[in-house]
């Protein structure tokens, strides 16, 4: 069957090729038996995966990235969920402006956000780097919390909550028994997106990092500048595998198509 939009189809294929082929190069290089990054790889070996999992700077940075991503995700959801309810169900004046404010980190360059936080909080208020880094990651995760949970709320029938209120349920009880279960798929999806995005962030983490707290992507970037062996490719492959596993679990348990289908409504 011929496609009705050959130009769009060609551009889509070209986009997939541009995104996927470099990833395949990195994955293939991770299994090489040579001592330098080279494509095509010669020989097959798992020694670089063993080296990556035994490299202490990577392991400590991995723990730091997990802690930062988890904390930023929790804070973003704690702020984003009430904001979503206020935007979609409340009588908030200027809802469009408020929603645009929460979505603005998507269009503002991360380096600009990081520089502003560094000047105002680190230099101005003399805060430690970690709290400022946590604030920056939380700000970057807010659009996911607001937009994805908002899509889930848009798919929900508001009559269910009204029925619960009509049957005598208090606003708090109606939220926990009706609204929160309706939001659960969106919250789960927003949490996964926020966690993965925060974990893989480089620009903001690179600008606000400290000597005592370094994330894994920044540590890998520093390692590439000093060494040219395939250990970074092995670690990148492990991160990619973990991200794919998270995406598969999310698709099987929630279904991204259902959640993101409401975003364009």
Domain containing residue 143: CATH number: 1.10.3720.10
pTM comes to 0.83
Task: Write out the two tokens for 103.
Answer: 């979505």
**Which of 234, 145, 248, 237 lies closest to 197 in space, CA to CA?**
145
Residue 26 lies in a domain: no
CB 218, CB 202: distance < 8 Å: yes
Percent of the chain with pLDDT over 70: 93
What is the distance between the alpha carbons of residues 122 and 204, in angstroms, rounded to a whole number? 14
The pLDDT of 11-19, averaged and rounded, is 82
Report whether pLDDT(245) > 80.
yes
The pLDDT of 242-260, averaged and rounded, is 70
| Number of neighbours of residue 186 by Cβ within 10 angstroms | 27
What pLDDT is stored for residue 28 in this prediction?
Answer: 84
The pLDDT of 10-18, averaged and rounded, is 82
The pLDDT of 4-9, averaged and rounded, is 73
Our count of domains for the chain comes to 1
**Which of 20, 40, 18 lies closest to 29 in space, CA to CA?**
40
- 238 phi/psi in degrees, rounded to 5: -65, -40
Residue 138 lies in a domain: yes
Report whether pLDDT(193) > 60.
yes
What is the distance between the alpha carbons of residues 187 and 206, in angstroms, rounded to a whole number? 28
Tell me which of 65 and 163 has the higher pLDDT.
65
Question: Residue 191 sits in which domain range?
Answer: 54-260
pLDDT classification of 265: cutoffs 50, 70, 90: very low
Q: Is the dihedral of CA 105, 108, 110, 112 positive or negative?
A: negative
What is the residue whose two structure tokens read 């995760």? 141
The pLDDT of 106-114, averaged and rounded, is 86
What is the distance between the alpha carbons of residues 92 and 77, in angstroms, rounded to a whole number? 19
What pLDDT is stored for residue 73 in this prediction?
Answer: 94
The pLDDT of 19-35, averaged and rounded, is 83
Residue 19 lies in a domain: no
Task: Write out the two tokens for 181.
Answer: 């279960």
Residue 35 lies in a domain: no
């Amino acid at each position: 069957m011929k496609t009705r939009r050959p130009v769009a189809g060609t551009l889509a294929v070209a986009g997939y090729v541009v995104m996927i082929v470099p990833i395949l190069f990195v994955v293939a290089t991770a299994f090489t038996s040579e001592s330098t990054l080279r494509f095509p790889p010669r020989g097959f070996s798992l020694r670089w995966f063993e080296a990556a999992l035994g490299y202490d700077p990577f392991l400590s940075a991995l723990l730091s990235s997990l802690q930062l991503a988890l904390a930023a995700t929790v804070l973003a959801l704690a702020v984003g969920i009430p904001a979503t309810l206020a935007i979609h169900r409340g009588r908030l004046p200027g809802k469009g402006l408020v929603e645009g404010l929460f979505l603005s980190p998507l269009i503002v360059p991360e380096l600009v956000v990081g520089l502003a936080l560094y000047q105002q909080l680190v230099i101005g208020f003399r805060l430690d780097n970690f709290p400022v880094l946590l604030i920056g990651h939380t700000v970057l995760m807010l659009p996911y919390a607001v937009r994805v949970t908002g899509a889930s709320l848009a798919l929900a029938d508001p009559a269910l909550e009204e029925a619960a209120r009509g049957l005598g349920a208090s606003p708090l009880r109606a939220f926990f028994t009706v609204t929160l279960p309706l939001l659960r798929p969106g919250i789960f999806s927003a949490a996964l997106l926020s966690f993965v995005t925060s974990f893989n962030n480089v620009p903001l983490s690179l600008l606000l990092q400290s000597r005592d707290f370094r994330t894994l992507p920044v540590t890998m970037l520093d390692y590439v500048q000093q060494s040219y062996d395939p250990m970074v490719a092995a670690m990148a492959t492990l991160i990619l595998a973990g991200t794919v596993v998270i995406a598969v679990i999310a698709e099987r348990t929630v279904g991204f198509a259902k959640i993101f289908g409401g975003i364009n409504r």
